[in-house]
Chain A
Amino acid sequence: MYDSFDMKTGMLCNLQLKIKRLLDKTPLWLSFVIIAGNFLFLLTLVLSYSNYLWNRNRLLASYASSMERTLDLKTASLEQYLDDLSDFAVLPVNDRDFYYELHQTAPLSEQALQRMRQTVSIYYYTRSDLVSYQLYLLQQDIGIGRFASDQRMKLFASKGVTGSDGYIGCIHSRTGSCLLPAGDGALFAFYHTMIRISDRHPIALVGIEVNDSFIKSGMSGLSYALYRNDGTLLYTNAAGSLSDFLNTPGAAAQPDREHIISAGDARYIYATSSGSKYGIRLVSYTPVSAVTDSLQNIRSNSIRQGILFLVLSLVLVSFILRFLTEPLDALARSQASFGKGNFSKISLGRSREVSELTSSYNEMSEQIQNLIQENYVSKINEKTAQLTALEAQVNPHFLYNTLQAIGSEALLNDENEIYEMLLALAGNLHYSIKAPNINSLRDELTFTQNYVRLQKLRMGEKLYVSINIDDSLLDVMVPKCSLQPLVENSISHGIKGDRSTIHIHVFAEQSDNLLCIHVKDDGAGMDADTLLGIRQTIQESPVGLSGKSIGLANLYHRLRLMYGSQCDLLIDSKPELGTEIILKLVLPPSHMA
């Protein structure tokens, strides 16, 4: 269990590391574009969408409310229509004869009935919106009516009217009327009682079915339904699935908050208006799609705009960021060249942070220059002063004349060896002081051999040097003092501790255009750490170095100046076994063997 935990944390750390490394490499503007871009993109989508939704809802709500205003008007006019129907329903009562016959409890004569029939018929034809008409004479059990299927006003027997829905509805209503659903094409069945004035007892019931012409006017293009307050559907012009929905009982459910109602597979905006007098409710159903189709365009547009805006602003910001952070690149480059010794001041800006960085960089550069000035340059001045003082004492004229004088004295005493030593010394002095810093290997070799001869004078048998360099290589050009210091190094570092003797082998190998000059000794050698330290020091710029290894670093530097990358200075060493330094040079084509 612990393993898996460690593995997880390990993987997590690994992941963190990977992310960190990736971030370190990514430019600022790119990070911004990716991170902010993603975030803003999502935000834009969310905002666009919620904006869309809000607009949609507002649109739906405003549609619903304006619809409702329309419906209110329609409901009001419907109630007026119903008032009108009420008036029409009791119209026959205005005929005196009719009125009288109506009140008769005894069975009416055929004549009377026919007369009544005619009267009703006349009144019937004053209206054009009637589908059917029935007048039930409650005291006679006879009805006068005209049904939809039949064109004529007829008399018919009617019993049990008082038990019918219409009659009961009228009895219980304040207005003495009630509405019932009617057949196809009819708006509703309107029932109205005629009452005896004296006791208000109903003596007749009028039932009228009207067509939907009234309701249709001003409602074209809409789907709507007319309900009774108790939820009974009286009429609807809806078709298809909406019609099926409305016709199922309990379909007058309330819509949700956004005035939306789901009916079958479609969604509709629900607007309603009620009339209190007759207890009617008019509901309109508008397909949401009809209203929101235009919204689709708005939605796509708004998303497109949002994204366009996002992209433009990202582009703009990334340019600005690049512009602002470009100085940092310049700063990084300055710092890189700083390390190479270029201390020039910089002038970068474009933002406060960068300006501050620039000024502190310049301060630092100045301080470092000052330090170098104090430290390094003053050292050079010191050395130059020493050298000048030395030269004043030991000018070449004085030096060589003195050496000649000593030498001649030696010659007078048959001390030819001493004269040779003086020649070696003078030769090396000539070589060191003379101008060209680049000489042939021949000259450098002579210089080295002179040096060795002088050292042998001091060390005798303790120093053994063999030199094995083919004559054909002697014309290769090398920096002055490139070989001799290596031999000097071998002597000064090789003799340590118990060792007092050293054997040095100087030899050269050539393969194609690569020349390797080896200086190999069997001296004290050095341990791996020291070797590594020296190898590193060699690579460093000799500026500011001091103490050990400055010679090697200096030599490497001068080699590079002469041969560019076509050279190398290698050093290998094993403790107690010895050290080998190899000077590698890529010869110019004229030297190919």
Chain B
Amino acid sequence: MHKCLVIDDEKPVFIAITKLGHWSSYHLEKPLYAENGRDAMEILRREKPSVVFVDMQMPVMNGSEFLREASGLSRSTSFIVVSGYDEFQYAQNAIRCGAMDYLLKPVAEDALNEAIDRTMHTLYPEEDFKEEESAGEMSAQDVVALLHDTIERNYTDNIRLQDFADEYFFSKEYLSRLFKNTYGIGVSEYLTKVRMERASELILRQEITISDIASRVGYSDNAYFSKVFRAYFGKTPSEYRALYLS
């Protein structure tokens, strides 16, 4: 598998490129991200990506400067420029600085994949790339199922929706909505539910202290656990224990 990198001071281009590229077809891992030219140089040296997407308008280090510097660094790296200007002179300039291709913003799926196709075929002419439609991409539904699963199994962990959103490039709200539509219950509600169910099992084992139960089901704060428990069951953990153990 090869690596690739997106350099842009704003996330949207990175998001679009990541979501629209057919990475697996081209034996590429999901793109790495650099916020500016300096970080990019770091990653370039360390990871040695095959393809680098560069936004020409960057505050810290100008796109052309970066290109000139970076393209001298490695022969086996292709640079694809992303720009808002559909002007020949810009493309010419970019190519002079060492870019191999030019993409317009907003990034279009076909233009992106054609550029990746050209680049990979040029860099690795002996490799066999099959153009498949997002084979290994996880759909939002898949992510939600995974989330559901994760909550069920790893309820102890601090499961945050945002992490899943970031990991799989879906919006938090969307995943939340989808989760609710699929399972009839909100993410945090479900997490709470799973934790409380587990807590209600554990609370019947007298040998485990309440605070222990709290941490086992994932709450670091005892008082908070009690509050949530009370809201869920209508009784504090102690009262609940008291009730069910008598």
Q: Give A residues with C-beta under 8 Å from B.
A: 396-397, 399-401, 403-405, 407-409, 411-414, 419, 422-423, 426-427, 430-431, 433-435
A413 and B170 within 8 A (CB): yes
**Do B169 and A404 touch across chains, with their CB atoms under 8 A apart?**
no
B window 196-227: CB within 8 A of A: none
Q: Which residues of B contact A403 (CB under 8 A)?
A: 105-106
Within 8 A of A (CB), among B2-28: 10-13, 15-16, 19-20
B173 — which chain A residues lie within 8 A by C-beta? 413
In whole Å, how far is B189's beta carbon from the nearest beta carbon of chain A?
Answer: 21
- Check B84 against A396 for contact (C-beta < 8 Å): yes
- Asked whether B85 is an interface residue with its Cβ less than 8 Å from the other chain, the reply is yes
Tell me the minimal C-beta distance from A130 to chain B in angstroms: 140
Residue pair B106, A414 in contact (C-beta under 8 Å): no
In the complex, the answer to whether A412 meets B170 with C-beta atoms within 8 Å is yes
Query: Are the CB atoms of A414 and B174 closer together than 8 Å?
Result: yes
Which chain A residues border B57 with CB–CB below 8 Å? 397
Which residues in A have their C-beta under 8 angstroms from that of B104?
Answer: 400, 426, 430
Distance in Å from the Cβ of B40 to the closest Cβ of chain A? 19
On whether A411 and B84 interact (CB within 8 A), knowing A401-B105, A403-B105, the answer reads no
Considering the complex of A and B, which 9 residue pairs feature the smallest CB-CB distances, nearest first? A400-B84, A408-B12, A412-B171, A408-B15, A430-B86, A400-B105, A405-B12, A404-B106, A413-B174
A407-B16, A412-B15, A414-B140 known; A422 vs B106 contact (CB < 8 Å): yes
**A435 to B87 Cα, complex, angstroms:** 7
Identify B106's interface contact among A426, A431, A435, CB under 8 A: A426
Contact B174 A411 (CB under 8 A): no
| Contact call A404/B174, Cβ cutoff below 8 A | no
* Known interface pairs A413-B170, A422-B106; 14 further A-B residue pairs with C-beta atoms within 8 A, sorted by A's residue number: A400-B106, A404-B12, A407-B16, A408-B19, A412-B19, A412-B165, A412-B169, A412-B174, A413-B171, A419-B16, A427-B108, A430-B86, A435-B87, A435-B88
B228 at the interface (CB under 8 A from A): no
Q: How many residues of B contact A (CB 8 A)?
A: 27
8 A-B pairs within 8 Å (CB atoms) are namely: A401-B10, A401-B105, A405-B12, A412-B19, A412-B165, A419-B106, A423-B106, A434-B87
Q: How far, in angstroms, from A281 to B207 measured CA to CA in the complex?
A: 195
- A422 to B173, alpha carbons, bound, how many Å? 21
Query: Closest residue of chain A to B140, judged by CB?
Result: A414
Chain A residue numbers with a CB within 8 Å of B41 are none
Shortest CB distance A416–B (Å):
9
Which residues on A sit within 8 Å (CB–CB) of B123?
A: none
Contact A407 B84 (CB under 8 A): no
Closest B residue to A400 using CB positions:
B84
Q: Are B20 and A411 in contact (CB under 8 A)?
A: yes
B43 at the binding interface (Cβ < 8 Å): no
Residues B170 and A404 in contact, CB atoms below 8 Å apart: no
Q: For A401, what are the chain B residues with a Cβ–Cβ distance below 8 Å? A: 10, 12, 84, 105
B185 at interface by CB-CB < 8 Å? no
Could you give, for residues 176-198 of chain B, a 1 whenever the CB lies within 8 Å of some chain A CB and a 0 otherwise?
Answer: 00000000000000000000000
Which residue among B12, B19, B139 has the maximum number of chain A CB atoms within 10 Å of its CB?
B12
Q: Which residue of A lies closest to B14 (CB)?
A: A408
Asked whether any CB of chain A lies closer than 8 Å to the CB of B107, the reply is yes
| CB <8 Å contact, A404 and B13 | yes
Q: Which residues of B contact A426 (CB under 8 A)?
A: 104-106
Expressed in whole angstroms, the Cα–Cα distance for A435 and B84 within the complex equals 14
Closest to A422 in B: B106
| Bound complex: CA A423 to CA B57 (Å) | 20
**A residues less than 8 Å from B87 (CB atoms):** 434-435
A430–B169 Cα gap in the complex (Å)?
27
Bound complex: CA of A423 vs CA of B16, how far in Å?
12
Task: Please report the C-alpha to C-alpha distance between residue A399 and residue B86 in the assembled complex, in whole angstroms.
Answer: 13
- B140 — which chain A residues lie within 8 A by C-beta? 414
- Neighbouring B residues of A405 by C-beta, 8 Å: 10, 12
Q: Closest CB-CB distance, B112 to chain A, in whole Å?
A: 11
Q: How distant is the Cα of A434 from the Cα of B86 in the complex, in angstroms?
A: 6
In the complex formed, the residue of A with least CB distance to B165 is A412
Give the CA-CA distance A510 to B120 in the complex, in Å: 40
- Docked complex: B156-182 residues within 8 A CB-CB of A: 165, 169-171, 173-174
- Contact partners of A397 in chain B: CB under 8 A: 57, 84-85
CB 8 Å contact bits of B113-148 with A (1 = contact, 0 = none): 000000000000000000000000001100000000
Residue of A nearest to B169 (CB): A412
Instruction: Give A453 Cβ to nearest chain B Cβ, in Å.
Output: 13
State A105–B84 Cα separation when bound (angstroms). 171
Nearest CB of B to A538, in Å: 31
Residues on B with C-beta less than 8 A from A413 are 170-171, 173-174
Q: How far is B20's CA from A435's CA once the two chains are assembled, in angstroms?
A: 29
> Contact at A408–B11, with CB atoms within 8 Å?
yes
User: When the two chains form their complex, are residues A404 and B171 in contact, meaning their CB atoms are under 8 A apart?
Assistant: no
A284 to B243, CA, bound (A): 186
Residues of A within 8 A of B107 (CB): 404
| A407-B106, A414-B140 as given contacts; A433 in contact with B169, CB under 8 Å | no
Contact, CB under 8 Å: A411 / B105: no
CB of A498 to closest CB in B, whole Å: 39
